[in-house]
Amino acid sequence: MLKLSCNVTNHLHTFSFFSDSSLFIPVNRRTLAVSSSQPRKPALDPLRAVISADQGSISPVNSCTPADRFRAGRLMEDGYSYKEKFIVRSYEVGINKTATVETIANLLQEVACNHVQKCGFSTDGFATTLTMRKLHLIWVTARMHIEIYKYPAWSDVVEIETWCQSEGRIGTRRDWILRDSATNEVIGRATSKWVMMNQDTRRLQRVTDEVRDEYLVFCPREPRLAFPEENNSSLKKIPKLEDPAQYSMLELKPRRADLDMNQHVNNVTYIGWVLESIPQEIIDTHELQVITLDYRRECQQDDIVDSLTTSEIPDDPISKLTGTNGSATSSIQGHNESQFLHMLRLSENGQEINRGRTQWRKKSSR
């Protein structure tokens, strides 16, 4: 029998994407056979559902973990998406008294992990299916894209909705929508793509039908995208940044606190490293609006990393004519938005860890 953990609603609650975690919820193959032969039913809320693979019955059980009693999260009526509210803490804000992008990224991870646990499987946070665990397979991040339209301030309450679904034959995806809990205004969106890796050989592996069947039962039947717009920025390819870069921060070293439960550098740490080589004049006058990262290599505790940044000039004839000294930076700073290409590489041999793109908007007067 497979137990699905309870869903507690209406409780007050005061975003690493782990390289191997926070994605999908598997079910037992025998349970799947029962589910696939019957119409899908919404997840039971707020009780724990016990699914009998032999009898095909679902019975509620009143049982909750202590965390469930305090966590302000719930599965939605469709049983596929999950929402949770978070208060922005004082230690999660920056110099502007608003949440940092690292805070946003950590909240995205947290709500994804809680979604997995709320559905009653992978309570270790790694979202591996039964078949994946048998074959020593894990999920790793391939791309992360975050857009922030309005940063929440200290003490603001943010509601984040997340769901997962298939992404072709070689991967999966998870999406998020962030809202101001007081106004229901959408203040941010995010999407991510994940691929499967053999934990022993560290080689990528195609998602098999068996693994796909184990998590698709918890995914929306019809595709649902946080960015449904055609040609949206989450789809844009990121060109490799070529040397010499305009800005750099060399020999960054992972701290012990940067490691996740798998002893790998936490994905949120990469965001911080990318921002280290942003020129100070941009930090002083702009705020980050969009960040996209393509992950290409794992980073271990003993690795030393270089962060490289170069201004990217949009295909806009006006922006190309702006500026006083002909430099890429000055020509783009004449506008309200600035855009940069990034690369993290190993200092020792120059191997690429990830590449990225950021877009910045002028800070509003407060």
Q: What are the catalytic residues? A: 262, 264, 299
Strand partners, 358: 291, 340
Alpha-carbon distance 24 to 80, whole Å?
A: 11
Unique residue bearing structure tokens 């894209």: 145
List phi, psi (to 5°) of 70: -110, -15
Which of 270, 285, 264, 263 minimizes the C-alpha distance to 338?
Answer: 285
- Which residue from 273, 246, 248 is spatially nearest to 332, judged by alpha carbons? 246
Angle at 42 between CA 118 and CA 44, to 5 degrees: 50
- What is the distance between the alpha carbons of residues 194 and 209, in angstroms, rounded to a whole number? 16
> How far is residue 146's CA from residue 255's CA, in Å, rounded to a whole number?
25
DSSP-assigned states of every residue in 37-86 = TS---PPPSSSEEEE-TTT--EEEE----HHHHH--EEE-TTSS-EEEEE
Owner of token pair 């800070």: 363
Q: Are 274 and 83 in contact (CB under 8 A)?
A: no
Is the backbone peptide bond immediately before 254 cis, with ω within 30 degrees of 0?
no
Closest-CA residue to 127 (of 271, 36, 19): 19
Q: How many residues does the chain have?
A: 366
Strand ranges in 171-285 using DSSP code E only, listed in sequence order: 171-180, 186-198, 204-205, 247-252
E-state strands within the chain: 2-4, 48-51, 58-61, 73-75, 82-87, 137-148, 157-167, 171-180, 186-198, 204-205, 247-252, 286-295, 305-311, 337-346, 352-362
